[in-house]
Structure 1
């Protein structure tokens, strides 16, 4: 509340001082002061009008630019949609029909009761059974390990 009161007191004191100073001026000085203030007011009005025109021009340019950009984007979207629609909705051609028939042939051939391919070791490895060879090689390795760890007859005698 103190700041507002101080501001109002200062404003009132300044207005009183200006009124007293104006009353003390001569008629010629009063006329000169009025003309000077009128000239400054005219300059301020002209500037305000100029800035209003600048703002109006800037707003018009912005609206025109926005309109152009929205039309450009709209045209691009329509072109993309028409290209997508053309690709999706184009009538079937002979190439499409041949592809469809090939796919139908593949699906029907997969549906038939054809046997799976079964490989056995005789056909693949010429009659040798890989599982038997693997177990026999493991047995050979185990036998070799036992013989290495066991003392031989010659070492037992010593």
Structure 2
């Protein structure tokens, strides 16, 4: 509380001294002081207006940049969503290319190419392998070991 009181007392003493000094000036000095003070006030007003215009221009630039960036981000998100939905609708790839490949395969089967045919006579020399018993290796291993 002491600092506030000291500041107010100093302000009051300074104002009283300025008032006394102003009344001791001659009329021409008072007019010069008023003109000088009015000139400084006008300069301060001009600077304040200039800074207000600078701030307004900076704010407009910021809004324009923000709008451009938000539109850019919105477009990127929309493109990504479109690509995702396109990818989800055709999970196995492009159906048209798959159909084309299957059509090519079916048409190539219709041509005069020879198929490979295997039969048991050519492969196994005429032996009928379907009726032969299968040897079990586990039984033969137990009989091969010598006993005491």
Scaled to the shorter chain, the TM-score interval is: 0.5 to 0.7
- Number of aligned residues: 108
- Partner of residue 40, structure 2: 40
TM-score, normalised by the number of residues in structure 1: 0.60
How far apart, CA to CA, are the structure 2 residues paired with 1:129 and 1:43?
114
Trace 1:23-62 onto structure 2 (pairs within 5 A): 23-62=23-62
- Partner of residue 132, structure 2: none
How far apart, CA to CA, are the structure 2 residues paired with 1:67 and 1:12?
53
**1:93 deviation in Å?**
2.4
- Partner of residue 10, structure 2: 10
- Partner of residue 64, structure 1: 64
How far apart, CA to CA, are the structure 1 residues paired with 2:57 and 2:24?
48
**1:5 deviation in Å?**
1.0
Does structure 1 residue 129 correspond to structure 2 residue 131?
no
Trace 1:101-112 onto structure 2 (pairs within 5 A): none
How far apart, CA to CA, are the structure 2 residues paired with 1:121 and 1:67?
81
Cα-Cα RMSD: 2.9
Deviations 1:75-104 (A, max 9, x none): 0111111111112124982638x7xxxxxx
Counting helix residues as a fraction of each chain, which structure ranks higher?
Answer: 1
Query: Residue 93 and residue 31 in structure 1: after superposition, are their counterparts in 2 closer, same or farther (change >3 A)?
Result: same
How far apart, CA to CA, are the structure 2 residues paired with 1:5 and 1:72?
58
Does structure 1 residue 93 correspond to structure 2 residue 101?
no
Whether contact under 8 Å (1:121, 1:129) holds in the other structure is no
The list of structure 1 runs, each at least 4 consecutive aligned residues, that deviate by more than 3 angstroms after superposition, is 127-130
Give the 3-state SS of the residue equivalent to 1:129 in structure 2.
Answer: helix
Structure 2 residues without counterparts, runs of 5 or longer: 103-134
How far apart, CA to CA, are the structure 1 residues paired with 2:61 and 2:141?
88
**1:12 deviation in Å?**
0.5
